Amino acid sequence: MSNSYIIPNSVLDELRAIVGPQGYYDTVVDIEPFLTDHRRLYKGNTALVLRPATTDEVSRILNVCNRHQVGVVPAGGNTGYCGGTAPAEDGSQIVISMAKLKKIRHVDPLNNTMTVEAGCVLAEVQQAAESVERLFPLSLGSEGSCQIGGNLSTNAGGTAVLRYGMTRDLVLGLEVVLADGQVLNDLSGLRKNNTGYDLRNLFIGAEGTLGIITAVTLKLFPLPRTHATALIALQNPTAAVNLLSSLRAASGDSLTTFELMPRIAIELVLKHIQGTSDPFTHAYPWYVLMEASSARNDSTIEDDITTSLATAQEQGLLLDAVLANSEAQRSLLWRIRENIPEAQRVDGGSIKHDISVTISDIPQFIKEGTALCEQLAPEGRIIVYGHLGDGSLHFNINAPAQATQVARAAFMNKAESLHRAMHDLTAQYHGSISAEHGIGRLKVEDLARYKDKVALQLMRDIKRTFDPNGIMNPGKVLKM
């Protein structure tokens, strides 16, 4: 498909001139990685990928695009799960890669804040905080490649939400380029500022549909010096929910992570991921990876957790537990949890659901969801795991082991009916059909179906106010 029929060459030249010869890709080979999303759900076309290095360049680009009504797709680390970064098939949109905006602008350990540009990779942000003995707590399996701008735009969750909250909770200020090129400068390091509407929270989680985030002021926390990390074996999710409640009561807010995993997830990791091994000698039906941490340099936290786990075992809440006794063992336990998505991918991919319900509803939801999936796709392997401490589950169904291509295709054809059944169930529980991965292009129809109608109308009104020409990531999040 020839893209230049849709975006005039004169406009493409105007855009190239803003960033200079080192600031764009326009050959087939260079553009290729920007045409598809992480899960390869969509494959689009574009004539140009721009790679601005400054906020001013982003501003001038959007000004040109807005004047000529050219659609713009922001691209971060491209690890998102909902197809948010794939441009449209008709070639009518350009891509803006944020990878060159990657300065750590300012670190202020006294104020416990840092200001970084949107293209910084999450792991680099964590390291910059650590270099001044502070913690930036957002933690995801994709942290080696996702960008902080992408994290903000998806309001990412991850494995430390229980203690520190979602990405939204870690932000004090933003710099955003609006659709017409104006720059909203709200890079505040203030913790108190009640001066009108909270604009920054509109851009967080907007998936690039309201503007491009170019920089952010983040909250930092004391660097934990001691961790107590355990893999706990349990009979069922009810035991896990009760254990969470008793651990929280015993250890207060030191509990950082509480992740539920079924046996099948552990088996997939052991099978596909090198350097992993089962910490137990027996197989158990369910597991929890828990971690508590403290900025104090003493062993109190480990003693507290050991005592709490012993009490829980006496009460019959858990079957067995392994407490990490070295940093190497701690990372081994984490390796098991963090590699579940990769193990599922290697095993042949899955039909995914990213839902949340209240923590107290989790056991019954898992029961009913499992029954539904068994009825609709009895050949599938149900792998329910995730952030139990936040009421958030990845309710995935893998194709049968070693399925033929035909059997796999037949299984994947059931995706739509499984999504409908699982999302209807989630709605019955007043839950969310996207706990942490966003809407992107994948869940546009679902959002329209399940979101409160008044909320949807307000969202459309906001979109029209911020982006009257509809150039910002068109076709994502909202059906206009």
Where does this chain bind ligand FAD (CB under 6 A)? 38, 73-81, 84-85, 98, 118, 140-142, 146-147, 149-151, 153-154, 156-158, 207-208, 212-213, 341, 436-437, 440, 473, 476
Three-state DSSP class for residue 276: coil
Residue 23 or 341: which CB sits closer to ligand MLT? 341
Which one of residues 74, 341, 369, 431 is an interface residue with ligand MLT (CB under 6 A)?
A: 341
Residue 51 or 414: which CB sits closer to ligand FAD? 51
Angstrom distance (rounded) from CA 55 to CA 177: 8
Angstrom distance (rounded) from CA 23 to CA 145: 20
CB closest to ligand FAD, residue no: 150
CB of 355 to ligand FAD, least distance (A): 13
The neighbouring-strand residues paired with 213 are 176
CB of 340 to ligand MLT, least distance (A): 6
Residue 254 or 473: which CB sits closer to ligand FAD? 473
Angstrom distance (rounded) from CA 350 to CA 383: 9
CB of 81 to ligand FAD, least distance (A): 5
- Half-sphere exposure of residue 154: CA atoms within 13 angstroms, side-chain side: 30
Q: Which does 161 bind (CB under 5 to 8 A by kind): ligand FAD, ligand MLT, none?
A: none
In the numeric block, the tokens 């035909």 are attached to 406
CB of 133 to ligand FAD, least distance (A): 25
Question: Does residue 55 contact residue 412 with C-beta atoms inside 8 Å?
Answer: no
CB of 213 to ligand FAD, least distance (A): 4
Which one of residues 26, 103, 141, 180 is an interface residue with ligand MLT (CB under 6 A)?
A: 141
CB of 206 to ligand MLT, least distance (A): 19
CB of 19 to ligand FAD, least distance (A): 16
Residue 309 or 393: which CB sits closer to ligand FAD? 393
Cβ neighbours of residue 374 closer than 8 Å, sequence gap 6 or more: 382
Cβ neighbours of residue 18 closer than 8 Å, sequence gap 6 or more: 50, 52, 57, 60, 61, 64
Question: Does residue 368 contact residue 348 with C-beta atoms inside 8 Å?
Answer: no
Residue 73 or 421: which CB sits closer to ligand FAD? 73
In the numeric block, the tokens 């004090």 are attached to 172
Q: Which does 473 bind (CB under 5 to 8 A by kind): ligand MLT, ligand FAD, none?
A: ligand FAD
Angstrom distance (rounded) from CA 320 to CA 288: 11
Angstrom distance (rounded) from CA 475 to CA 71: 10
Q: Which does 85 bind (CB under 5 to 8 A by kind): ligand FAD, ligand MLT, none?
A: ligand FAD
CB of 394 to ligand MLT, least distance (A): 5
- Half-sphere exposure of residue 322: CA atoms within 13 angstroms, side-chain side: 19
CB of 459 to ligand MLT, least distance (A): 24
Three-state DSSP class for residue 371: helix
For helices 327-338 and 263-272, the axis angle rounded to 10 degrees is 100
Residue 116 or 261: which CB sits closer to ligand MLT? 261
Q: Which does 386 bind (CB under 5 to 8 A by kind): ligand MLT, ligand FAD, none?
A: ligand MLT
Q: Which does 476 bind (CB under 5 to 8 A by kind): ligand MLT, ligand FAD, none?
A: ligand FAD
Residue 141 or 348: which CB sits closer to ligand MLT? 141
Which amino acid is present at 289? L
Q: Which does 84 bind (CB under 5 to 8 A by kind): ligand MLT, ligand FAD, none?
A: ligand FAD
Q: How many residues bind ligand MLT (CB under 6 A)?
A: 5
Residue 77 binding ligand MLT, by CB under 6 A: no
Q: Which does 97 bind (CB under 5 to 8 A by kind): ligand MLT, ligand FAD, none?
A: none
Q: What is the dihedral of CA 307, 308, 313, 314, to 10 degrees?
A: 70
Angstrom distance (rounded) from CA 335 to CA 269: 9
The neighbouring-strand residues paired with 397 are 351, 382
Beta carbons within 10 angstroms of residue 184's beta carbon: 17
SS3 assignment for 52-115: CCCHHHHHHHHHHHHHHCCEEEEECCCCCCCCCCCCCCCCCEEEEECCCCCCEEEEECCCCEEE
Q: Which does 79 bind (CB under 5 to 8 A by kind): ligand FAD, ligand MLT, none?
A: ligand FAD
Angstrom distance (rounded) from CA 374 to CA 299: 46
CB of 312 to ligand FAD, least distance (A): 26
CB of 246 to ligand FAD, least distance (A): 25
Residue span 382-401 as binding mask against ligand MLT, x where in contact by CB under 6 A, dash where not: ----x-------x-------
Query: Which spans of this chain sit near ligand MLT (rule: CB under 6 A)?
Result: 141, 340-341, 386, 394
